[in-house]
Amino acid sequence: MLTGFADGGLELRKRASGALTLQGRFPYNKRAVLSDGGRTGRPRKEVIASRAFAYRVERPNEDIHLLIGHSYDRPLASRGAGTLDLKDSDDALTFTASITEEMQEVSFVRDFLAAFRAGLIVGISPGFRIPPERAVAEAERVEEEDPSEGMALIRTILAALLYEISVVTRPAYDETQIEERNWQPGRVILPVRVHPSARWRA
């Protein structure tokens, strides 16, 4: 599975019922640096275009999870459980999650809440997959950066299948949790299709 990131944008509130409401926002059309190119290579950047996640977001029967650190073993909420609401716009994908009192008693949820309140969890990272070319002819595009801005290769995600949104401690692409993808202008290598629970990042 691929991931993006957003810095900050998380807010936690307590309801009278005792449940906690967690809200977050993932902005579209922001550039992320995947690689600085090292000593001899070219930098690589990525952009997630407006409403790139629309296919699954606009289908309420498609279950999407809110996780801690892209781990399906540490769920906070989900659409299937009725505890996650998603809103899509040209500017951003936003979510509102209800963390029930029962879930607040789970050890990994307590750990998350403590880390969040301590300012250690500051990012949002959507987990998604690029659809096959037979389904979407141009789901992603790779272009040269404007020479006045730099010499990077820029990949723009135009359409993607969103499976989960994660709260993360490091709001950036973590090289230790990605699958290497070799891409260059005019040629895109699609990832191996695996079950969403078998996560991988790029």
One pLDDT digit (tens) per residue for the chain, 202 residues: 666 555 557 899 998 888 999 999 898 998 888 888 998 999 999 999 999 999 999 999 999 999 999 999 999 999 999 999 999 999 999 999 999 999 999 999 999 999 999 988 888 888 999 999 999 999 999 999 999 999 999 999 999 999 999 999 875 433 222 222 334 444 333 333 334 433 333 3
Query: How far is 125 from 167, CA to CA, in rounded Å?
Result: 6
Look at residue 145 and tell me if it is in a domain: yes
Look at residue 201 and tell me if it is in a domain: no
- For residue 201, the model assigns a pLDDT of 38
Number of domains in the chain: 1
Look at residue 192 and tell me if it is in a domain: no
- For residue 17, the model assigns a pLDDT of 85
| Spatial contact of 166 and 58, defined as CB atoms under 8 Å apart | no
Give the rounded distance of the alpha carbon of 27 from its chain centre.
10
- For residue 146, the model assigns a pLDDT of 94
Look at residue 34 and tell me if it is in a domain: yes
Look at residue 96 and tell me if it is in a domain: yes
Look at residue 130 and tell me if it is in a domain: yes
Look at residue 137 and tell me if it is in a domain: yes
| Residue 169 belongs to domain spanning | 2-173
Look at residue 196 and tell me if it is in a domain: no
Query: How far is 153 from 48, CA to CA, in rounded Å?
Result: 14
Query: How far is 12 from 21, CA to CA, in rounded Å?
Result: 6
